[in-house]
A = this chain, B = another copy of it.
Amino acid sequence: MTLPVETFFLKPDAHGTLQQQIQQMIAQGILSGRFKKREKLPSTRKLAVHLGVSRITVTIAYTELLANDYLASKGRSGYYVSENAPSPPAFSATPERQDAVDWTRAIGQKFSGAATLSKPLDWAKYRYPFIYGQADPTLFDHTNWRLCALQALGQKDFTSLTTDYFDQDDPQLIEFIGRHTLPRRGITARPEQILITLGAQNALWLTTQVLLTQRRNAALEDPCYPALRDILSQSRCHVTPVRVDQDGIPPDAIPPQTDVIFTTPSHQCPTNATMPMNRRRALLNRARDLDALIVEDDYEFEMSFLKSPSPALKSLDTDGRVVYVGSFSKSLFPGLRLGYLVGSEPFIREARALRASVLRHPPGHIQRTAAYFLSLGHYDALIRRMGAALQERRKVMEEAIAARNLEISGRGFYGGSSFWMLAPTGIDTEELAQRLRAKGVLIEPGHAFFSGEQPPHNYYRLAYSSIPSARISAGVDLIADEIAATSPTGPIY
């Protein structure tokens, strides 16, 4: 029989073009068993009229399904569900039941409940998003990224796209990082000393697993990137937070017995402090005296638009005691999840083996796309454009902040993409953030960056990487008004 045209509906929540929606509707009708083999479909004209779409749209959808052998056509007599169409399962799905398992007992290790920087998933819909680390569609070079991705999807690259590298990386990406990216940080490295990771966080995680145990000690900047603190506490090693000053982590404050020092010399996260050369040397000497290793997260080095970036700590490392963490996720886009580790061979060998066991390797297509984007010079051009835009926004920010007497706690004299702010004592920036959110302003409360039981609650971060200049001062005004309104010391004028 012919399937009654009335049984065909486009889901209101369906994705894609009309033609794709029709294709999905029919394919899924067949896969679910609603449409049976040899059943006749409505004519393209009939279905087009019924759905209120053009006949050609239906015809293209039918042709697609013909190619995939969901449908067969019998010349003039029209389209039928194909004999060879995928069959529905011979059994039906079981309804959900109550668990008989006692999960509090069954779960061997808990990982949930860590302090995180949450932002609304629809942050882009807010008018004043002073949030950190998201891609700005107005700055990102979407066209060239798309072209490079396309090329990496080409027949020529089929193997690099599809192959199971097991524990290897894309040789083209490794080659570029070794020949061009690292030399720009003053670092020399052979391919065996480089490992591609699923973003900087994955690099820090791998490093922690390889270098730290319950019997070892880590020194951590305070404040710092919260996810790093979670990673370290999960590793169960002993962690000592070291309070940073305007030059970053003070070497003398690093306790004896420290095995691994985690630091962000380019732009301290979140204070934006850039570590001066003399302190970098002092830090290396301190590490040598303690026979400790240093993990350098070369955080936002590309965002040095005010002064040219200093060479990486790793480039001053004559002992091989620095493990270097680089990332493309921040400068390209975080959803990319692409970073890398640079270190001595024995270390990289273990990190590689661990990565192979945890996830084998980062997806081939992403590695190859990045390799093209970098080697064609699009990456450096993008960084330059971003730097120019951020510099301009930063100027507007500084003026707006000064105009309203807001207190900057850390501004980063090399650049960066955010200000580390201090609200008057007594103000809880988490509540502040909630109230501002209702007014379309997104700021980041600062307490999550701090270690210890009693973190200060009056710090907050204002990033300018995702907000257009034109909206900055109005946004800062709203923040200042809210602070003034709730300041225990009364409004500030």
**Chain A interface (Cβ within 8 Å of chain B)?**
15-16, 20, 23-24, 26-28, 30-32, 64-65, 68-70, 84, 86-101, 103-104, 106-114, 116, 118, 121, 124, 133-135, 137, 140, 142, 145-146, 149-151, 153, 155, 158-168, 172, 180, 182-188, 190, 198-199, 201-202, 205, 209-213, 216, 227, 230-231, 234, 259, 288, 293, 308-309, 311, 315-316, 318-321, 329, 333-338, 344, 346-347, 349-350, 352-354, 356-366, 372, 375-378, 380-381, 383-385
* Min CB–CB distance A145 → chain B (angstroms): 8
Contact A308 B90 (CB under 8 A): yes
**Bound CA–CA A296/B346 (angstroms):** 36
What's the minimum C-beta distance from A319 to chain B, rounded to whole angstroms?
4
Question: CB-nearest residue of chain B relative to A234?
Answer: B357
Residue contact B135 to A23, C-beta cutoff 8 Å: no
Task: Enumerate chain B residues within 8 angstroms of A153, measured Cβ to Cβ.
Answer: 145-146, 149-150
The reply to whether B109 and A134 form a contact with Cβ atoms under 8 Å apart is no
Least CB distance from A112 to B in Å reads 4
Q: Which of B95, B134, B149, B357 meets A227, CB within 8 Å? A: B357
Cross-chain pairs A/B with CB under 8 angstroms, 10 sampled = A16-B151, A16-B372, A69-B385, A94-B186, A111-B210, A137-B162, A146-B150, A198-B198, A199-B360, A201-B359
Q: Which residues of B contact A336 (CB under 8 A)?
A: 162, 363, 365
Q: Give bound CA distance, A159 to B164, whole Å.
A: 28
A354: chain B residues at CB < 8 Å are 111
- Interchain CA distance A145-B357 in the complex, whole Å: 27
Query: CB distance B347 to A211 under 8 Å?
Result: no
Which residues in B have their C-beta under 8 angstroms from that of A137?
A: 158, 162
Starting from the known contacts A107-B210, A110-B350, 7 additional A-B residue pairs (CB-CB under 8 Å) come to A28-B377, A108-B210, A149-B153, A162-B334, A337-B360, A363-B366, A365-B366
B70 touches A377 (CB 8 A): yes
Bound together, the chains give a CA A185 to CA B28 distance in angstroms of 15
- Establish whether residues A163 and B293, one from each chain, have CB atoms under 8 Å apart when the complex forms: no
Q: Name the CB-closest residue of B to A160.
A: B335
Q: For A99, what are the chain B residues with a Cβ–Cβ distance below 8 Å?
A: 319-321, 344
A334 with B188, Cβ < 8 A, contacts A70-B377, A202-B359 known:
no
Nearest-neighbour CB distance to chain B for A193, whole angstroms, equals 9
Whether A135 pairs with B121 at a CB distance below 8 angstroms is no
Question: Which one of B103, B183, B346 lies within 8 Å of A346 (CB-CB)?
Answer: B103
In the bound assembly, the distance between CA atoms of A394 and B109 in angstroms comes to: 44
Minimal beta-carbon separation of A466 from chain B (angstroms):
11
Q: How far is the CB of A411 from chain B (nearest CB, A)?
A: 23
- Is A201 in contact with B360, judged by CB distance below 8 angstroms? yes
Query: Which residues of chain B come closer than 8 Å to A23, judged between CB atoms?
Result: 376-377
Closest B residue to A133 by CB, please name it: B164
Q: What is the CB-to-nearest-CB distance from A221 to chain B, in angstroms, rounded to a whole number? A: 18
**Assembly CA distance A149 to B137 (angstroms):** 19
C-alpha gap A209/B69 in the complex (Å): 43
Instruction: Give the CA-CA distance A231 to B32 in the complex, in Å.
Output: 37
Q: Tell me whether A111 and B353 are in contact in the complex, defined as CB-CB below 8 angstroms, given that A90-B308, A162-B140, A377-B24 are known contacts.
A: yes
Expressed in whole angstroms, the Cα–Cα distance for A90 and B134 within the complex equals 29
Bound Cα distance from A395 to B309, whole angstroms: 64
A47 to B372, CA, bound (A): 23
Interface pair A357/B111, CB less than 8 Å apart: yes
Contacts of A68 in B (CB 8 A): 377-378, 381
Closest chain B residue to A349 by CB distance? B112
Given contacts A108-B216, A153-B146, contact A383 B86 (CB under 8 A): yes
Q: Closest residue of chain B to A235, judged by CB?
A: B108
Q: How far is the CA of A344 from the CA of B216 in the complex (A)?
A: 35
Closest to A84 in B: B384
Contact of B109 with A183 in the complex, beta carbons under 8 Å: no
Closest 7 A/B residue pairs (Cβ): A27-B377, A99-B320, A162-B333, A164-B334, A100-B319, A103-B346, A335-B364
Contact (Cβ within 8 A) B27 A376:
yes
B188 contacts A93, C-beta separation under 8 Å: yes
**Closest-CB distance, A189 to chain B (whole angstroms):** 8
